[in-house]
Amino acid sequence: MEFLSQKKGFLGFDAIQNKDPRVIVVPFGLEKTVSYGGGTKNGPKEIIKASHQVELYDEELKKEPYREIGIKTIKPFPIKKKIGQALDQLSKINEKIIANNKFPLVFGGEHSITPGAIKPFIDKYNEITLLHFDAHADLRESYQGEKFSHASAIKRCLDFKNVKVVSFGIRNLSKPEMDFYNDNRDRIEIFWGKDKKTWDLSQLNKFFKGKKTYITFDVDGFDASIMPATGTPEPGGLLWEDVLPIIKKVCQISNIVGADINELAPIKNFDSYNFLVAKLAYKILAYTFEFKN
């Protein structure tokens, strides 16, 4: 793997790293199955670019988390043209990262990346729980003839028998997806977007305490008012202050092993949306390593 210089990588800091980095950022702008708006292939580079404007001091944690974590960013590389091969390619990259006891943070691209991203964790652990933020359930068996569609991302993850999913912010799904959810309540829990004012986060202990957890964050989980830069924006979604307590709590009670953030479709001259995702990525890392045993 080739890496960007520290100044050009995620967060763009100049400080010399005196420690071995614990996080490897993987830019993987896969865009093969988008069904409405396009542009997700440009997501990774714009997240990294925007991250150079993120303040490195975290006022909540009262520190500069990056100094304790150590972060390196893989240099952008060609992605395989066929989606199945692309997912295998990402799987092999993450396999190499975790073999070296590093934490992979993947920037998509479309949400179809997640089954490939989690494959090495599936092979390594007896059980993986996905913390899934999204407007859509992504439980279709296929969409427009493609079983690896972004609309089937979570269904493909559930093809692995040792995966469970807890989803937040869902507010758009098909009847077959609802039927699949009802038939698989032992493996899928949904915190519906419409109910966010009454969510009981104490329930998170039941699903995540002591578990190996992988975070997959589709940015259309955010409300369209703060995140229109995505292919399938939805009203009625999550705000920044809805999301952070969930991530923080899960980081406190479980072992976060990896993460991906996907479906950013940058809009020219509207950098605030890219910045929001960059800040989210840094916050996920800050919480993950603040509470890691």
Give the per-residue pLDDT at 293: 58
On whether residue 68 sits in a domain, the answer given is yes
On whether residue 70 sits in a domain, the answer given is yes
Query: What is the domain extent for residue 215?
Result: 23-290
CB atoms within 10 A of CB 15: 12
If pLDDT is split at 50, 70 and 90, which confidence band does 15 have? low
CATH number at residue 274: 3.40.800.10
In tens, the pLDDT along 69-113 reads 999 999 999 999 999 999 999 999 999 999 999 999 999 989 999
0.75 exceeded by pTM? yes
On whether residue 81 sits in a domain, the answer given is yes
Q: Classify 36 in phi/psi space as left (phi over 0), alpha (psi -120 to 50) or beta.
A: alpha
Give the per-residue pLDDT at 19: 67
Give the per-residue pLDDT at 146: 76
**Token match 């009670």: residue?**
253
Give the per-residue pLDDT at 35: 52
In tens, the pLDDT along 164-193 reads 999 999 999 999 999 999 999 999 999 999
How many domains does the structure of the chain reveal?
1
CB atoms within 10 A of CB 75: 12
**Token match 């920044």: residue?**
240
At 157, list the tokens: 């993850």
On whether residue 6 sits in a domain, the answer given is no
Q: Are 134 and 166 in contact (CB under 8 A)?
A: no
Residue 80 is classified by DSSP as P
Q: Which of 262, 224, 226 is nearest to 39 (CA)?
A: 262
Average predicted confidence (pLDDT) for the chain = 94
On whether residue 16 sits in a domain, the answer given is no
Percent of residues, the chain, with pLDDT higher than 90 = 88
On whether residue 9 sits in a domain, the answer given is no
On whether residue 1 sits in a domain, the answer given is no
On whether residue 5 sits in a domain, the answer given is no
